[in-house]
Amino acid sequence: MTRARPRSITSKLLAWYRVSHRDLPWRATHDPYRIWVSEIMLQQTRAEAVIPYYEKFLQRFPTAAALAGARQDEVLASWAGLGYYTRARNLHRAATQVAAGFPADYDGIRRLPGVGDYTAAAIASIAFGLPYAVVDGNVLRVVARIMNDPADIGSAATRARFRDIAQRWLDRRHPGEFNQAVMELGATVCLPRAPRCADCPLSGDCAARREGTVAQLPVKLRKTAPRYLEAALVVVERGGRVLSGQRLASESLMASFWELPSPDQLRGLRDLRVIGSFRHTITHHHYRISVCTGTVTRAPRGFAWLPAGNLHLLALTTASKKALRLAGIPA
């Protein structure tokens, strides 16, 4: 492990970023509302996947006041497909707090529902020019390699220490730009696999490259074992309507979302036929979902017949959307 020179890292990284960064829509604004929306969407989601959702969401809810005045099902419908729906609920809940004015200090931002240390630092630095270093997975990887540090980044102590290092590197004159630069480096050059070391502006400062340990860093010892599961969904159509149920608002996962029934939820199910299957992943759960068609005499309790032409307007679970498309029904 070695001690990198903060000033050298700062100047090289900013010079590289100013000519090499991706043209992402949230980088064209300092509006805290728009930056907040982007940072919440970027939690657990790649930038390329976020772009169409970000643009559609802001067309529908261009201001915090517009978001605060919307119904939750409208917000969830605009978010559908991005996953991790607690993010959308927290965004909606916090909109009432920021509609009259977005907090302009780190602590005020940090108190918003769904905002942690990383998101607060990103908004504070990019929107308000406050000197707080961001630390996400990309930054942890860059720090581990520059310092050639084999500590477990799953450890709270290691993450705190890496945050201190990132804070020392931070350009206090341009904190938002610097934070975006180090995240950009991790996202496009200092990759988890097959890093592009020859293109890295910090290659001369990278102790891991000198020691030949880039591929072994960062170290994360604690991993969640994947689970492989089988499931089935039934598309029951009658008179241009599709049988669907809505999850309870009190449910912890996908609350208030509409979904297709599973076979064991339908009494009197007849003419059951498998028409295909698809794979679906939620965190470390890997599903193989069979899609069936069938008929029932009446809707079970908790289910309703919904017009097939309006399904795309509802907050449908992603798995149900995939099943409907496989059955030839737009969703």
**What's the pLDDT tens digit per position in 136-185?**
999 999 999 999 999 999 999 999 999 999 999 999 999 999 999 999 99
CATH number of the domain to which 182 belongs: 1.10.340.30
**181 and 241 fall within a common domain:** no
CATH number of the domain to which 312 belongs: 3.90.79.10
**What's the pLDDT tens digit per position in 198-248?**
999 999 999 999 999 999 999 988 677 889 999 999 999 999 999 999 988
Catalytic position from the list 39, 177, 184, 259: 39
The residue out of 188, 216, 244 marking a domain boundary is 216
**297 and 322 fall within a common domain:** yes
pTM passes above 0.85: no
Task: Give me the number of domains the chain comprises.
Answer: 2
**147 and 127 fall within a common domain:** yes
At 282, give phi and psi (nearest 5°).
-125, 110
* Catalytic annotation present for 259: no
**10 and 145 fall within a common domain:** yes
**238 and 200 fall within a common domain:** no
The residue out of 153, 182, 216 marking a domain boundary is 216
Long-range contacts of 278-286 (CB under 8 A, 24+ apart): 278/322, 278/323, 278/326, 280/318, 280/319, 280/322, 282/83, 283/224, 284/224, 284/225, 284/226, 284/227, 285/226, 285/227, 285/229, 286/226, 286/227, 286/228, 286/229
Q: Give the number of other Cβ atoms within 10 Å of residue 55's Cβ.
A: 12
User: Domain span at residue 211?
Assistant: 6-216
State how far the Cα of 321 lies from the Cα of 90, in Å rounded to an integer.
24
**126 and 71 fall within a common domain:** yes
Instruction: Say what the pLDDT of residue 57 is.
Output: 97
